Amino acid sequence: MTVQPIIQTLEKLIRLYESFLSLSKEKTDIVKEGSASRLQSLLIKEQKHVQAVEQADTKRREAVREWAVQQNADPDKVTITTILEAHTDASGSKELEALTVKLTNILAKLKKQEHLNRELIKQSLQFVELSLDMMSPTIRNMNYGEQSSSGTLERSVFDSKA
């Protein structure tokens, strides 16, 4: 069996992750401007991308499993390295290796971008919490009237000992 089905699924995964990366960069801009409605619609798009990636990854696993069965290898232990070592067609091996490297690089960029987004959202939440804390009254301010904070007892003008 050739590695062509595996190559095709890797190409599809690369396209999906590139699109995912552009969505992640767009999310960064949206978080910076603070638009909750745009962020919500972008998250819906991201969810659709996640589903498409899961489907493509399932097809990739099936293609690898089929290849492993035909090569009399354990489907659960097959890695890209095993496929490259067992595959004799030089052009197919080079293409498979190049696609794997490209996919790895895209995933690293996506991970870095999502880390940035996570930090931006974390900072935004901290700012919102700080703003809410500043606007909410404290317990001391909620009591009515003035409180005596001097700590000394107030004496009457009339002395009762006399």
Q: Does residue 60 form part of some domain? A: yes
- Reported as a pLDDT band with limits 50, 70 and 90, residue 22 is very high
Residue 81: per-residue pLDDT: 85
41 within a domain of the structure (yes/no): yes
Global pTM value: 0.75
Q: Is 59 part of a structural domain of the chain?
A: yes
- Cα–Cα distance measured from residue 8 to residue 59, given in angstroms and rounded to the nearest whole number: 10
Percentage of the chain surpassing pLDDT 90?
Answer: 48
Domain holding 39, by residue range, is: 4-135
Residue 147 lies in a domain: no
Q: What's the half-sphere exposure (Cβ side, CA atoms, 13 Å) at 78?
A: 22
In a domain, residue 64? The reply is yes
In a domain, 155, yes or no: no
CATH number at residue 60: 1.20.58
Give domain status of residue 39, yes or no: yes
Mean pLDDT of 39-67: 94
Average pLDDT score over residue span 36-57? 93
Taking the chain, what is the end-to-end CA distance rounded to the nearest angstrom?
115
- Answer whether residue 20 shows pLDDT above 80: yes
Tens-place pLDDT, residues 63-86: 999 988 988 888 888 888 888 888
Structural domains in the chain (count)? 1
Q: Give the residue from 58, 23, 28 showing the smallest Cα distance to 44.
A: 23
The span from the CA of 47 to the CA of 61, in Å, is: 21
Confidence of residue 43 (pLDDT cuts 50, 70, 90): very high
**pLDDT tens-digit readout, 114-162:** 999 999 989 888 888 888 878 776 655 555 555 555 555 555 555 555 5
Higher per-residue confidence, 37 vs 135: 37
Specify the pLDDT at position 139: 56
What pLDDT, on the 0 to 100 scale, is given for residue 158? 54
What string of DSSP letters covers the chain?
--SHHHHHHHHHHHHHHHHHHHHHHHHHHHHHHT-HHHHHHHHHHHHHHHHHHHHHHHHHHHHHHHHHHHTT--TTT--HHHHHHH---HHHHHHHHHHHHHHHHHHHHHHHHHHHHHHHHHHHHHHHHHHHHHHSPPHHHHS-S----S-SPPPPSS-TT-
- Specify if 58 maps to a domain: yes
